[in-house]
Amino acid sequence: MNLVRLIREDIRCVFERDPAATSKAMVLLCYPGLHAVWVHRIHHWLWCKKFKLLARVLSQITRFWTGIEIHPAARIGRRLFIDHGMGVVIGQTAIIGDDVTLYQGVTLGGTGKGEGKRHPTLCDGVFVGNNANILGNITIGEHSRVGAGSVVLRDVPPDSTVVGVPAHIVYQGGKRVLITDPRDVSDPLSDVIIALCDEVKRLKARVERLDGELQQAMPEEPQSALAVEEEERATYRSQLYSRSDYVNMGEGI
């Protein structure tokens, strides 16, 4: 596909995803996310042609110009929209599909100095909120959403929404996902939470057992004098009301 057609697609996707875009001139002049994507295509071509130093130097110049750092080796699909864009970092082995949206501060980074694929893969239609960090060789499935400020450390299934640090699934396939097992969150404190839950269950079972033993050991309490008196009064009134010659003049006694 020629470069002019790609540019037209990118401009059109801005109007579709950003209500603040009111004219083509504004989009062309005031959207650094578009500038970074367009220039990256040139940098990537130079990188693939083995002009790696030149591509790297130009990418650094673009970083100062737009506030967006995209490694020349990163593979980016069509209609990527980087909104605002300041602070976005896309690593060397990152792969981004079509129709992806990234907000400011997003990092597609690695987790170490390993060789090979060490950055994330974002499939088609992924949305990533501001200041989210997606780290390591993981895959974000098609049409999934990453909440703002989340830290994603493992694969996300398609059509899911993840939030939190570390991120966990809260919606999948349009349905709310309830977290019933602390292990599903993969939080560093999960083991502590699990231990506390087990301790509460153990103490609850012990209290119920001791309460049952106490109820069995206690003798049956005799009826109090007041209860006996109230029962006798109720019997007397029922007998009195049943007489045909009784006239009720009020509850005197």
Report how far residue 234's alpha carbon sits from residue 217's, in angstroms, rounded to the nearest whole number.
Answer: 33
Render pLDDT for 79-128 as a digit per residue (tens, 0 to 9).
Answer: 999 998 899 999 999 999 999 999 999 999 988 777 888 999 999 999 99
Task: Return the pLDDT at 186.
Answer: 65
| pLDDT above 90: percentage of residues in the chain | 47
Domain positions in the chain = 3-178
Q: Is 57 helix (H, G, I), strand (E, B) or coil?
A: helix
CB under 8 Å to 158, separation ≥6 — which residues? 123, 141, 142, 143, 144
3-178 maps to CATH 2.160.10.10: yes
Render pLDDT for 130-163 as a digit per residue (tens, 0 to 9).
Answer: 999 999 999 999 999 999 999 999 999 999 999 9
Report how far residue 67's alpha carbon sits from residue 64's, in angstroms, rounded to the nearest whole number.
Answer: 6
Q: Is the pTM of this model over 0.85?
A: no
Task: Return the pLDDT at 177.
Answer: 76
Report how far residue 54's alpha carbon sits from residue 69's, in angstroms, rounded to the nearest whole number.
Answer: 15
Q: Length of the chain in residues, anyone? A: 253
Mean pLDDT of 58-81: 93
Above 60 in pLDDT, residue 202? Answer: yes
Rg of the chain's alpha carbons, rounded to an integer? 35
Render pLDDT for 21-30 as a digit per residue (tens, 0 to 9).
Answer: 888 889 888 8
Mean pLDDT of 8-28: 88
Cα–chain center distance at 79: 24
What amino acid is encoded at 149 in this protein? G
Split at pLDDT 50, 70, 90, the class of 253 is: very low
